[in-house]
Amino acid sequence: MHLLLPGPTPIPKPVEQALLAAMTDHRGGAFETVQNRVLNGLAVLLGTDSQEHVAVLPASGTGGLEAAVQNLFHPNDRVLVVESGLFGRRFGEVAKAQQLKVDRMELTWGEALRPQAIMERIGAAPYRGVLVTHNETSTGVLNPIEELGGLMNQLPDPPLLVVDSISGVPAIPLTVQNGIDVIVAASQKGFMCPPGLAMIALSDRARSAVLVERAGRFYFDLWPYLKGQLPYTPAISLWYGLDAALQLLQQEGAEARLKRHQWLRDMVRAFGEAGGLEVLVPDHWASPTVTALGLPSSMNPSQFRRHLEQKGLQIAGGLGEWHHRVIRVGHVGAIDVGDLWAGLGLMAPYLPHPQQSLEAAMRVASIADQPRLEREEAL
């Protein structure tokens, strides 16, 4: 099956091999080596120079969001949640469940947050935190988090900026620097691993703000992790996979990786537009990892996806407000231009303008000097 999903994503061979590393005592020396290498690798990737600022939890990404909220905010702390789509809304639900006072800032679907508007909201109310989504998977919008962090960083005592980057980093580089305090990520997207691990990185400021005591927090208490312990049996095979994936990511480098994802995105957008689909997000907000495309009323999204699945391709459907007319094409992780062609080739015959769609994709694909992920070599 070919996968063009915004996660889970294909597993590269070296990661697959690593996943099968024999089980071992997670409190023994052999695993400690892997643990240290993974935490160090993550620390570097997420822009902190210390293992004591990162944690890898046995949970899905949403568990990581709950951990961030439980560790940084008390009940009744007031936070601003920017809802740029379904996942922004979920972040708000996580915060509400932890009894925070949540002010919502709801964006129009398909639009990115405007840093200046958030600065105005911050100026008007004493927020302890601002909760935002880096890459909104439901709309395919990339939010300008670094710009927001830069602005907030100029305030004397800014709220903590907590970023859901589950479908962003490391495909889209982001670091806990320059006003960005917390990054939450997950294993099954840009990290090219199976789902099951949530990652958290903390800025110096965020680490100092981790609560000593907090009602309702146990499983997601970050303190043991920040002290280098793994309090509950870690998902060992996924750690081995992540270890191998971090080596691949390091070999590729952040800049080449971003360029690769942007290139895949540009192919999908050119393909969709020329093929007669509606490209729902303008260029300057378009996510490098997932693209939402509106179908003409003559096409039924679920039928379209069923046909594709029979041909051997999985793409994602629309979510929330875009449930009825939208498909989402994921292009994140261990995807190369060949994988994308497999999917575009299978999709094209169903589009209003099949030939134009493929021609447009080819024009983008043929741009020279495009990066390719080395993903076959054994480690």
**Which stretch in 26-34, 125-133, 142-150, 157-165 sits in contact with a copy of itself by CB under 8 A?**
26-34
CB of 55 to a copy of itself, least distance (A): 14
Residues present in the chain in total: 379
Tokens of 264: 């895949």
Tokens of 75: 């009940």
92 near a copy of itself, rule: CB under 8 A: no
Report the alpha-carbon distance of residue 163 to residue 119 in Å, rounded.
16
Among 200, 195, 163, smallest CA distance to 180 is for 163
Give the largest Cα separation in the chain, rounded.
61
User: Would you say 153 or 314 has its CB closer to a copy of itself?
Assistant: 314
CB of 187 to a copy of itself, least distance (A): 9
Considering only 40, 99, 178, 356, the residue that binds a copy of itself (CB under 8 A) is 99
155 near a copy of itself, rule: CB under 8 A: no
CB of 164 to a copy of itself, least distance (A): 13
Tokens of 12: 């590269």
167 near a copy of itself, rule: CB under 8 A: no
User: Would you say 266 or 375 has its CB closer to a copy of itself?
Assistant: 375
**Which stretch in 175-183, 210-218, 259-267, 369-377 sits in contact with a copy of itself by CB under 8 A?**
210-218
Report the alpha-carbon distance of residue 30 to residue 41 in Å, rounded.
17
Considering only 118, 169, 184, 236, the residue that binds a copy of itself (CB under 8 A) is 236
Phi, psi of 254 (to 5 degrees): -65, -40
User: Would you say 186 or 364 has its CB closer to a copy of itself?
Assistant: 186
Cβ atoms of residues 222 and 200 within 8 Å: yes
7 near a copy of itself, rule: CB under 8 A: yes
Q: How many residues bind a copy of itself (CB under 8 A)?
A: 55
Report the alpha-carbon distance of residue 351 to residue 360 in Å, rounded.
13
In the block, which residue shows the tokens 């020396």? 29
Among 196, 189, 80, smallest CA distance to 137 is for 189
Here's the x/- map for a copy of itself, 272-311, by CB under 8 A: it reads as -------------------------------------x--
Considering only 12, 41, 58, 301, the residue that binds a copy of itself (CB under 8 A) is 58
149 near a copy of itself, rule: CB under 8 A: no
**Which stretch in 116-124, 235-243, 292-300, 354-362 sits in contact with a copy of itself by CB under 8 A?**
235-243
> Mapping DSSP to helix (H, G, I), strand (E, B) and coil, where does residue 118 land?
helix
User: Would you say 232 or 250 has its CB closer to a copy of itself?
Assistant: 232
Phi, psi of 148 (to 5 degrees): -60, -45
The single-letter code of the amino acid at 95 is A
Sheet with 160-164, edge to edge strand ranges: 101-106, 78-83, 129-133, 160-164, 182-186, 197-202
379 near a copy of itself, rule: CB under 8 A: no
88 near a copy of itself, rule: CB under 8 A: no
196 near a copy of itself, rule: CB under 8 A: yes
CB of 84 to a copy of itself, least distance (A): 19
218 near a copy of itself, rule: CB under 8 A: yes
Considering only 12, 41, 66, 138, the residue that binds a copy of itself (CB under 8 A) is 66
Cβ atoms of residues 145 and 163 within 8 Å: yes
368 near a copy of itself, rule: CB under 8 A: no
188 near a copy of itself, rule: CB under 8 A: yes
19 near a copy of itself, rule: CB under 8 A: yes
Cβ atoms of residues 350 and 304 within 8 Å: yes
Bridge partners (DSSP) of residue 163 are 132, 183
- Residue by residue, DSSP assigns 105-132 as EEPPTT----HHHHHHHHHHS--SEEEE
Cis peptide bond N-terminal to 144, omega within 30: no
* Interface contacts to a copy of itself, rule CB under 8 A: 1, 3, 5, 7-11, 16, 19-20, 22-30, 58-63, 66, 93-94, 97-99, 186, 188, 194-196, 215-220, 231-238, 309, 314, 316-317
